[in-house]
């Protein structure tokens, strides 16, 4: 299995742990790609276009991912 796929799976596991909090507010997030130490995700539902999405991304999702996966350097939102 290539490294990007392993990282994709690891980031997916972290996102899975956070998903209940997103779903509770009517939203969700989909992991699109992991490459070059950057995880790209797309917000869905109520999270898509929410003014707090950037805060959720950086303060919650990115923080959790960086804490658990040393190889990931940043989590960004794609549209």
Q: What is the pLDDT of residues 14-27, one digit of tens each?
A: 999 999 999 999 99
CATH 3.30.300.130 fits domain 3-77: yes
Q: Can you give the length of the chain in residues?
A: 79
Closest of 33, 32, 60, 29 to residue 46, by C-alpha: 29
Q: Where are the domains of the chain?
A: 3-77
In which band, very low, low, confident or very high, does the pLDDT at 4 lie, cut at 50, 70 and 90?
Answer: confident
Widest distance between CA atoms in the chain = 38
Asked whether the beta carbons of 61 and 18 are under 8 A apart, the reply is yes
User: How far apart are the C-alpha atoms of 52 and 46, rounded to whole Å?
Assistant: 10
| Predicted local confidence at residue 72, as pLDDT | 97
This prediction has a pTM of 0.92
Cβ contacts of 21-30, under 8 Å, gap ≥ 24: 21/60, 22/47, 22/56, 29/61
The DSSP code for 26 is: T
Q: What is the pLDDT of residues 25-79, one digit of tens each?
A: 999 999 999 999 999 999 999 999 889 999 999 999 999 999 999 999 999 999 8
């Amino acid at each position: 299995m290539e490294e990007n796929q392993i990282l994709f799976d690891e980031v997916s596991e972290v996102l899975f742990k956070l998903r209940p909090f997103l779903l509770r507010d009517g939203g969700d997030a989909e992991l699109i790609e992991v490459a070059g130490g950057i995880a790209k995700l797309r917000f869905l539902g109520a999270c898509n276009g929410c003014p707090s999405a950037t805060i959720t991304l950086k303060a919650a999702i990115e923080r959790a991912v960086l804490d658990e996966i040393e190889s990931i350097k940043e989590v960004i939102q794609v549209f």
